[in-house]
Amino acid sequence: MASPNVEIVQRMYECFNRGDMDTIRQEIFAPDLVWRLPGRHPLAGVKNGAEEVIAFFTQLNKAGIQVDLIGIEPFGADSVVEVHRGHGQTNGAVLDANNCTHYQIRDGKIANVQVYISDQHSVDNFFSAVYALKPIPDRLAS
């Protein structure tokens, strides 16, 4: 029998793979969620709040990314650690990487996430090929 914390992470992946962002937003993510994704590609960096993470997930869905859980375990009273395979193909760019993610659960919702990438170079190359940056000065924050 899986722990409630493991079940919430599993449910997030199920919803992600079928594109159900409303359930993730309303039932799975804490509103003040912080999600950290390493890298030097257009989607990398810290996402603050459920809406930023949903926007990130929407871009992953547009890129055809699927996520398959390989292993998932509770880690202490409020954490879950999992290994997953992220894979997809868009415009000739191919992604196939195993990664690890640490989730902190608060009040039954995902509140804090750190992703660890197994092959950062290939992930950076994939997302840089799929997502072009706007020319300067449009790409710079005001």
Write out the residue range of the structural domain in which residue 94 sits: 4-128
Does residue 27 lie within any of the structural domains?
yes
Does residue 140 lie within any of the structural domains?
no
Q: How far apart are CA 132 and CA 127, in angstroms?
A: 9
User: What CATH number does the domain containing 33 carry?
Assistant: 3.10.450.50
pLDDT confidence of residue 1: 66
pLDDT confidence of residue 35: 98
Does residue 139 lie within any of the structural domains?
no
Whether the model clears a pTM of 0.75, i.e. scores above it, the answer is yes
Over the chain (142 residues), what is each successive 10-residue block's mean pLDDT?
A: 91 93 96 97 96 94 90 96 94 92 98 96 92 86 76
Does residue 63 lie within any of the structural domains?
yes
Question: How many domains, in total, are found in the chain?
Answer: 1
